[in-house]
A and B are shown apart, each in its own frame.
Chain A
Amino acid sequence: MSDLTPGLNLAEIDPEGALNESIASGVSRSGFLRGLLALTAGAATVVAADQAFGAISRTGDSAILNPLLIIECMQAEFYRRAADSGQLPANYARLANEIAAIEAAHVAGLKNALGGAANDDPYLNFRGTTENPMRFIRTAVALEDLSTSTLAGVMDDFESEDNLTTVAAIYTAEARHSAGVRLAAGEHPAPSPVQKWESLPKVRKLLNETGFLTPKPTTVARQSPAFTG
């Protein structure tokens, strides 16, 4: 097992041993996702991902592009907050900042494509994974795997071949991110000869279980003000 952060006691951040187990078991995507889920499952909030997915248009390419938008938003925010946290070593912070910019461009592109059919940005709580070097890099690997396997799973569903072309171009960028974060994590950059894929219902379930998607706080109310006037 690679020692990513000398001096860091893995047991302190992973009391259940799930992350340790996933690292020891190799680089399987499902193992990483299980590790990710075990870290966050206590606070899993099913309703949030259902809200995020539930409002999507069910017809045409927007039914595919909206879930992709949620995943790209999640990645963009994850890297952005990691870069902002001030808690990561310089090499991780730099990696996070560079990938955040590209994920943000993907978000902008998907919003361009969806126009008024775009879902609202999801509300995200990364539960400390952006503030700890070990948890950050393991979560980055898991999110990149989730992203590439989701993209691989929707390739055959597009009505517009032009949309397919652009999403395939995004896919190659995500594959490079996946390799990059794996290398940073001390893992093999491309452990499998082919990319596994996941169906959108499975992706929805996985997103629910991460607990990263959380209900939006109530910041708007139908109430008469009691301000000083």
Chain B
Amino acid sequence: MTAPAGQDLDLRQIELFLYREARYADEHDYDAWEALWTDDALYWVPAGGDLTEPGAQMSVIYDNRSRITTRLNQLRTGRRYAQSPPSSLRRVISNVEVLGREGSDILVGANFMLAESRDRGVEFWAGRTTYRLRIVNGQFRLAAKQVLLVNRDQPLPTLAFLI
């Protein structure tokens, strides 16, 4: 991949990274997905309620790097029944915007729509994702991903795949 370091941010390069991350998640490519994360990773799916103090309230997912590995290792056992068999997934990412910078990190926002099919039926998921990207050795890496589901204040079905 061409590194955009030191240049004006190339939105196309950012989009291609987001699409790749989405494809790894859709296709349950756990190794490739895990390799995208930085060591200070945060993978966060908030529940209803405010977003100011995640450590003091329940979230659907609030994984640091170590817990991401635990989550993936559970999936890798093949006995994570909520994903065994795995859901069939496809998501569309759109409305990609660079929201700004925090230090050398790049904040990117996007919307998504995702269809999940399993024996239980088809679920439709949608929301807003905010990514914190970092360029490491000329490659984009994922430092944080926050997924705000449109229906996060409602009862949610099982969400055992990578969103």
Asked if A and B bind, the verdict is no
